[in-house]
Amino acid sequence: MPEVKRIEDVPALDVSDGKEIVGVRKRLLIGPKDGAPTFAVRLFSVAPGGHTPAHAHPYEHGVLVLRGQGEVLTPQGPKPIGPGTVVFVKPSEFHGFRNPGPEPLEFVCIVPVHVES
Amino acid sequence: MPEVKRIEDVPALDVSDGKEIVGVRKRLLIGPKDGAPTFAVRLFSVAPGGHTPAHAHPYEHGVLVLRGQGEVLTPQGPKPIGPGTVVFVKPSEFHGFRNPGPEPLEFVCIVPVHVES
């Protein structure tokens, strides 16, 4: 039967390391434990002043911003993002997400399921 | 370079057939044309009184509701959905989405990329 849950019932894990990752909480909305065969769906919340790692890796990201204002780092510099922004990061592309604003930045980030396995 | 776009810049296609699919518009936010290797991300808007097909297929759906109120059909009957609801439909599970409410129902729906190829 289709699984139905609510975002607030999914634990939010603090994934910050104080260096490359600052002020970041992650909820694994859909992943291996749900029996997902192809992709995993995560929800990230980046606190004001926080950021995800500025890096590249061999898998892609599909991102949809839900709340807040921020920027995505690209090889050509930062680009503004906000509610309704879609970002597609292809495998091996440099990227990072920053929240220089006063409110939490929330976005969905989809990856191949092996990333969460 | 990461691709950055806005939802409103993605064409909304009317995918209704007047029978199984009523009042449904679809935006392909991320798909094969973006170079997506694994998954595709679609945004659906179901008008008041509208619905998607009640069916099953051999691939999964990852769904996050953004706006409106509605229900997901399951073999055990309909279940309510609204903003913040996550639905995971495993391959071959029966499902459908309905909007009996007065406002548009909007949700993200992720599938393996071959579905959009």
- Work out the pLDDT band at A24, boundaries 50, 70, 90: very high
- Work out the pLDDT band at A1, boundaries 50, 70, 90: very high
Distance from CA of B74 to the nearest CA of A (A): 6
pLDDT for B54 equals 97
Task: Please state, rounded to an integer, the average pLDDT across all residues of chain A.
Answer: 98
CA proximity to A27, closest of B42, B30, B64 = B64
Q: What residues pair up with A25 in beta bridges, in sequence order?
A: A14, A45
What ipTM was assigned to the predicted interfaces of this complex? 0.97
Q: Which chain B residue shows the shortest CA-CA distance from A66? A: B66
Largest CA distance in chain A: 45
The token pair at A104 is 């939490």
Distance from CA of B16 to the nearest CA of A (A): 23
- Average pLDDT per run of 10 along chain B, which is 117 residues long? 98 98 98 98 98 98 98 98 98 98 98 97
Question: What's the rounded mean pLDDT across residues A41-66?
Answer: 98
User: Across the interface, do A64 and B5 touch by the CB < 8 Å criterion?
Assistant: no
pLDDT for A39 equals 98
| pLDDT one-digit tens code per residue, B53-66 | 999 999 999 999 99
Domains in chain B and their CATH numbers?
Answer: 7-38+57-116 (2.60.120.10)
Question: What's the rounded mean pLDDT across residues A7-14?
Answer: 98
Is there a contact between A113 and A38 (Cβ–Cβ < 8 Å)? yes
Query: Within a 10 A sphere around the Cβ of A49, how many other Cβ atoms?
Result: 12
Question: What's the rounded mean pLDDT across residues A26-31?
Answer: 98
CA proximity to B8, closest of B51, B43, B47, B50 = B43
pLDDT for A16 equals 98
Is there a contact between A45 and A72 (Cβ–Cβ < 8 Å)? no
User: Across the interface, do B66 and A62 touch by the CB < 8 Å criterion?
Assistant: no
Distance from CA of A102 to the nearest CA of B (A): 22
| pLDDT one-digit tens code per residue, A89-98 | 999 999 999 9
B11 vs A: CB within 8 A: no
Q: What residues pair up with A61 in beta bridges, in sequence order?
A: A89
Cβ-Cβ contacts under 8 Å, A32 against chain B: none
Mutation for testing the B interface, residue in A42, A44, A64 having most B CBs under 10 Å: A64
pLDDT for B113 equals 98
Cα-flanking dihedrals φ and ψ of residue B42, to 5°? -120, 150
* Beta-carbon pairs below 8 A across chains A and B: 130
pLDDT for B34 equals 98
A112 vs B: CB within 8 A: yes
Q: HEC string of B6-53?
A: EHHHCCCEECCCCCCCEEEEEEEEECHHHCCCCEEEEEEEEEEEEECC
Query: pTM for the full model?
Result: 0.98
CA dist A96 and A71 (Å) reads 8
Q: What residues pair up with A3 in beta bridges, in sequence order?
A: B88
Cα-flanking dihedrals φ and ψ of residue B61, to 5°? -125, 135
Distance from CA of B19 to the nearest CA of A (A): 23
Pick from A5, A79, A88: CB nearest B34: A88
Is there a contact between B4 and A89 (Cβ–Cβ < 8 Å)? no
